[in-house]
């Protein structure tokens, strides 16, 4: 049985704030972000970042916007409180600046659909596996690596070992469990963690075996993030130095279709555990 969800973090509050401000703008007769940007003297890009939940406003900026939108005092007070909480920094541990928004969403997500074809995704990595991966990075200073490793461990504890209020459906390519990251001992420990995670009520794990051949996500990794409380869904893509959120068609629809197809192509949960057990045995 799931526990009541904890209060939303700053990233979700920024999404809520952005949607409230967009509704106010439209109710005030400003049909486009360009129109309100002229009225308040800001760039349309700034308005877009705020309304999409990826930017914040100072107290003075928010007051200026609310006055321009002729917001009733009672509603303005509610939005100002929401904005104060949204400006706080989330306590998600040490993560890359460009990944911080995602980690905030991940912590508050109702559902995550994760497809990784090359390595174990961050929130399912053991400390030793994470250290081995980070050791190859040209973007991570050696002094930062221990804190980044700890942040990944904490993400596992929060999403998998925690109250189970986030549903995870993870699809991994078989190459993920065959590549010996960190050596045989590290890899065996990592596969045992995946097996333990798969036993959790809120986790579904499927493997795409080599025998499945070609599929729509070859050489591609992505995460679908669902935040039901704010009615928001995103595709999250990450590379070596940056990340991207996609929340509109056709992008979101395409990735959802691909994930559903991969669910059909991948092994069942039982067959996945059997393959995991064989891979663990091979590392003995």
Give the span between the Cα atoms of 222 and 219, in whole angstroms.
Answer: 10
Q: What is the mean pLDDT of residues 164-180?
A: 95
DSSP secondary structure, 145-172, as one string: HHHHHHHHHHHHHHHTSS---SEEEEEE
Of the pLDDT bands very low, low, confident and very high (cuts 50, 70, 90), residue 242 is confident
Mean pLDDT taken over the chain: 89
Q: How many domains does the chain contain in total? A: 2
At CB < 8 A and 24+ separation, what contacts does 38-47 make? 39/68, 40/64, 40/65, 40/68
Of the pLDDT bands very low, low, confident and very high (cuts 50, 70, 90), residue 93 is low
Among residues 51, 65, 49, the alpha carbon closest in space to that of 17 is found at 51
Q: What is the mean pLDDT of residues 175-190?
A: 97
Q: Is 73 exposed, middle or buried (0-12, 13-18, 19+ CB in 10 A)?
A: exposed
Are 39 and 169 contained in the same domain?
A: no
Are 14 and 127 contained in the same domain?
A: no
Q: What is the pTM of this model?
A: 0.78
Are 102 and 80 contained in the same domain?
A: no
Domain of residue 127 covers 97-282
The tokens of 94 are what? 């040490």
Query: CATH code at 186?
Result: 3.30.870
C-beta separation of 9 from 158 below 8 A: no
Where does a domain end: 44, 63, 86?
86
Where does a domain end: 61, 86, 111?
86
Q: Where are the alpha helices (DSSP H) in 28-144?
A: 33-40, 44-51, 59-68, 73-86, 100-108, 127-135
**Whether the predicted pLDDT of 249 surpasses 90:** no
Of the pLDDT bands very low, low, confident and very high (cuts 50, 70, 90), residue 244 is confident
Which helix (H) or strand (E) element contains residue 203?
strand 203-208
In a domain, 139, yes or no: yes
**Whether the predicted pLDDT of 91 surpasses 70:** no
The helix, strand and coil proportions of the chain, stated in percent and rounded to the nearest 5, come to 55, 15, 35
Distances (CA, A) of 251 to 115, 223, 234, 246: 15, 12, 9, 6
The torsion angle over the Cα atoms of residues 59, 64, 68 and 72, rounded to 10 degrees, is: 40
Query: CATH code at 51?
Result: 1.10.260.40
Where does a domain end: 65, 86, 107?
86
The torsion angle over the Cα atoms of residues 153, 158, 161 and 165, rounded to 10 degrees, is: -150
pLDDT, tens digit, 9 for 90 and up, residues 98-154: 566 788 788 889 999 999 999 999 999 999 999 999 999 988 889 999 999 999 999
Q: Would you call 61 helix, strand, or coil by DSSP?
A: helix
Are 69 and 123 contained in the same domain?
A: no
**Whether the predicted pLDDT of 272 surpasses 50:** yes
Are 132 and 185 contained in the same domain?
A: yes
Are 33 and 140 contained in the same domain?
A: no
């Amino acid at each position: 049985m799931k526990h009541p969800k904890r209060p939303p973090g700053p990233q979700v509050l920024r999404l809520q704030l952005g949607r409230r401000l967009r509704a106010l703008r439209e109710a005030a007769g400003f049909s486009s972000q360009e129109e309100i940007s002229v009225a308040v003297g800001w760039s349309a890009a700034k308005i877009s970042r705020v309304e999409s939940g990826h930017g914040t406003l100072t107290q003075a900026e928010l007051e200026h916007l609310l006055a321009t939108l002729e917001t009733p005092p009672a509603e303005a007070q509610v939005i100002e409180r929401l904005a104060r909480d949204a400006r706080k920094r989330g306590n998600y541990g040490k993560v890359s600046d460009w990944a911080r928004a995602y980690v905030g969403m991940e912590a508050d997500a109702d559902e995550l659909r994760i497809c990784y074809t090359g390595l174990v995704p961050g929130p399912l990595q053991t400390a030793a596996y994470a250290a081995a991966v980070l050791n190859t990075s040209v973007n991570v200073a050696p002094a930062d690596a221990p804190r980044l490793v700890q942040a990944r461990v904490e993400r596992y504890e929060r999403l998998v070992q925690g109250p189970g209020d986030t549903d995870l459906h993870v699809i991994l390519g078989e190459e993920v469990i065959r590549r010996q990251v960190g050596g045989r001992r590290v890899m065996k420990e990592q596969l045992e963690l995946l097996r333990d995670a798969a036993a959790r009520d809120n986790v579904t794990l499927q493997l795409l075996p080599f025998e499945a051949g070609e599929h729509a996500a070859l050489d591609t990794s992505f995460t679908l993030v669902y935040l039901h409380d704010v009615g928001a869904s995103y595709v999250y893509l990450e590379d070596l130095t940056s990340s991207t959120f996609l929340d509109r068609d056709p992008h979101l629809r395409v990735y959802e279709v691909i994930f559903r197809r991969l669910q059909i192509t991948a092994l069942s949960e039982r067959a996945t555990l059997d393959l995991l057990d064989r891979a663990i045995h091979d590392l003995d």
